[in-house]
Amino acid sequence: MVKKDLKIADVISESTGESWVYSNIVKDHFFHPRNLLLKDPTPGEFDAEGQIGSPACGDVMRMWIKVDSKTEKIKKLKWRTFGCGSAISTTSIFSVMVTERGGTTIDEALKIRPQDIMKRLKGLPARKVHCSVLADKAFRETINNYFMATDQNNRIIIEGERIIDKKLNITDKDIEEAVLDGVGTIEDLQKRLKIGVGSPKSMPEIKQLFRFYLEKYQTR
């Protein structure tokens, strides 16, 4: 029996109208994951690998890539994850998106956004949107390791945090994570982070960032 306060997006897919949260594509990639690597690769089999997360606090993603040094096309992308069905499905479809049709270039692959992944999967429940970011973050970590291994340190991607509410030391990443966890209104954001309470002058920037992340990750 569905609880009355359960969001409709968690019951009916807005993309397909199906009466369950996961599309057939999500289920297919969960039961039949593509490019999954269960055994550690042999030395030299891949050009770089990366890992994010910790088994102590949640999902863990490990990723390997093989790159054509002349064209920078990603010829192989393998992965292994400790996570939920959504994490497995999103990473599986991401590996297909990166390697299909002869492989995308590194720059093309870096332009793939979490909402592009969700679009290929025909949507995800709001509370599972963060899973589409797991593959993206693991890929960026792997690419950074590739850049270091090939002496391209000038291309390393640096993702910093910016403090928005100085009273509470809340950063833009805190707001992003709240949206990824399903916070959908500025009121809920304030309840969760207490943001803007001690620093009301920061509210215009907070609202702007909140709208930005909602637009970035929403599946509609």
Mean of the per-residue pLDDT values of the chain? 83
pLDDT at 4: 42
Give the residue, 171 or 53, on which the prediction is more confident: 171
- pLDDT category at 55 given cuts 50, 70, 90 is low
Please enumerate, as own/partner, the contacts of 100-103 that have beta carbons within 8 Å and a separation of 24 or more: 102/73, 103/68, 103/73, 103/74, 103/75
Between the CA of residue 145 and those of 37, 110, 152, what are the distances in Å? 19, 14, 10
CATH of region 8-155: 3.90.1010.10
Identify whether the C-beta of residue 109 lies closer than 8 Å to the C-beta of residue 50. Answer: no
The answer, yes or no, to whether residue 47 has pLDDT greater than 50, is yes
- pLDDT category at 118 given cuts 50, 70, 90 is confident
Active site annotation includes 84: no
Domain ranges of the chain: 8-155, 163-217
Active site annotation includes 57: yes
Count of residues making up the chain: 220
Catalytic residue among 2, 56, 57, 158: 57
CATH 1.10.10.1100 fits 163-217, yes or no: yes
pLDDT at 1: 39
Catalytic residue among 109, 131, 175, 178: 131
Q: According to DSSP H, which parts of 34-130 are helical?
A: 85-99, 106-110, 114-120
Over residues 15-40, the pLDDT tens digits come to 555 555 688 999 999 999 999 999 99
